[in-house]
Amino acid sequence: MVDTSPSQATTAEASIESKPDPRVGPIGLFKEMPIPVKLAAVWLAFIVIGAFYAKLDDLLGQSLPLQDPNYQPRFGEGVDRTEGPSAAHWLGTDVIRRDTFARIMHGGWVSLIVATTAASFGVVFGGLIGTFVGYVRGMFETSIMSGIDVILAFPPLILLLALVSVWQVRDVFVISLVIGFLSIPAYTRVARANTMAVSNREFVLAAEAIGTKKSTILFREIIPNVLPTLLAYAMVQAAFVIVVEGTLSFLGLSVQLPTATWGNMINEARGEIKQTILPVLWPSLALTFTVLSVNQLGDWLQKRGAYRTSAL
């Protein structure tokens, strides 16, 4: 960062001191969190670790201590109906007696992949387009932004349904890419707005004054300052993506069966709610807690980031 004058540098440093320190590691960050946000972080860590564990179990041919999510006892082996929680099945089983706990862990993998792929897609492409048009401006910006406004004018779920129904591929990555592609416009807007604010700061003007190349300014001055806000926004957007994927799964339009997702677990179990609500309850709680946690964490990071930019 280019300091404009010594006096300004000292005031900036002084104000950083009273605000949260941006250079803390993950553990320091965790210590800073208020208790609800801590709980959210713990829950998310649990889901992420569970998802990786489940995937690893898949790759090792179900040899780790976790029930096979697709194992169903043969007909006649015991009663053919939902079981309640037990030592063998921590959260009970679903209608065709598959282990609910294992399926929730595996469902977490799908949510995780969709959320991270869509978010990275949005951050990278939306971020690049947004910072570029926000810094360069001109005719190019006008045309790009009006295109973006048009996509944002579409009701999102309808556009997604239409796209998913056209491409008949039901694969985690295809679903994530479609959702990711559709989230580019929102990221572009956020990136552009932040870029326009950063572009007028003294350090950018100073860099321009000493004749730094525009591309260098874009990558060395602007993007590093826009990125934290964009990442915090990605958290909020990720919560939305998880709900959208849940909705698609619930409608049977996401990943192909028998892959477990929280949405299709809820859909498969809802026929049985006259007998028991439990098989609906567990995936619903998993989905709701995850969305709530991602939202909490995102909100908190966004507020923290706001302090940071105000201290710049």
Partner 1 sequence: MFQTIMARLGRLVATLFAVSVLTFLMTSLLPGDVIDIMLPPDAPRDEATIAEIREELGLDKKIYVRYFDWVTDAAQGELGKSYITDQPVATTIKQRIPVTGQLALTAIVIALFLAIPIGILGAYRQSRLSDQVSSVGVQVALSVPNFIAGIFLVWLFAVKAGWFPATGFTRLDINWSLSNFRVRDAWPNFKGIILPATALALTQMAIFSRLLRTDMIATLQQDFVTSARAKGLSDRYILFRHALRPSSLSLITIAGINLGALLGGTVVIETMFAIGGLGFRLINAIYARDILVIQGITVFIATVYVVLNTAVDLLYLVIDPRIRKG
User: Footprint of partner 1 on this chain (CB under 8 A)?
Assistant: 146-147, 149-151, 153-155, 157-159, 161-167, 239, 243, 246-247, 250-253, 263, 266, 270, 273-274, 277, 280, 284, 287-288, 291-292, 295-296
Q: Is 93 helix (H, G, I), strand (E, B) or coil?
A: strand
Angstrom CA distances, 126 to 18, 45, 191, 267, 294, stand at 33, 27, 7, 33, 20
Q: How far is the CB of 251 from partner 1 (least distance, A)?
A: 6
Taking the least distance from each CB to partner 1, the nearer of 43 and 203 is 43
Taking the least distance from each CB to partner 1, the nearer of 154 and 219 is 154
Taking the least distance from each CB to partner 1, the nearer of 1 and 161 is 161
Give yes or no for a contact between 311 and 10, defined as CB atoms under 8 angstroms apart: no
Taking the least distance from each CB to partner 1, the nearer of 227 and 243 is 243
Taking the least distance from each CB to partner 1, the nearer of 135 and 240 is 240
Q: How far is the CB of 109 from partner 1 (least distance, A)?
A: 19
For the chain, how big is the Rg over CA atoms in Å?
23
Taking the least distance from each CB to partner 1, the nearer of 66 and 234 is 234
Q: How far is the CB of 106 from partner 1 (least distance, A)?
A: 19
Q: How far is the CB of 19 from partner 1 (least distance, A)?
A: 22
Q: How far is the CB of 88 from partner 1 (least distance, A)?
A: 26
Angstrom CA distances, 113 to 48, 108, 118, 227, stand at 10, 9, 8, 21
* Among 182, 177, 200, residue whose Cα is nearest residue 126: 182
Give yes or no for a contact between 285 and 35, defined as CB atoms under 8 angstroms apart: no
Sign of dihedral through CA atoms 88, 92, 93, 99? negative
Token pair in block for residue 145:
């932004």
Taking the least distance from each CB to partner 1, the nearer of 155 and 211 is 155
Give yes or no for a contact between 136 and 214, defined as CB atoms under 8 angstroms apart: yes
Q: How far is the CB of 117 from partner 1 (least distance, A)?
A: 20
Q: Where are the beta strands (DSSP E) in 117-164?
A: none
User: Which residue, chain included where needed, has tokens 């910006």?
Assistant: 141
Q: How far is the CB of 267 from partner 1 (least distance, A)?
A: 8
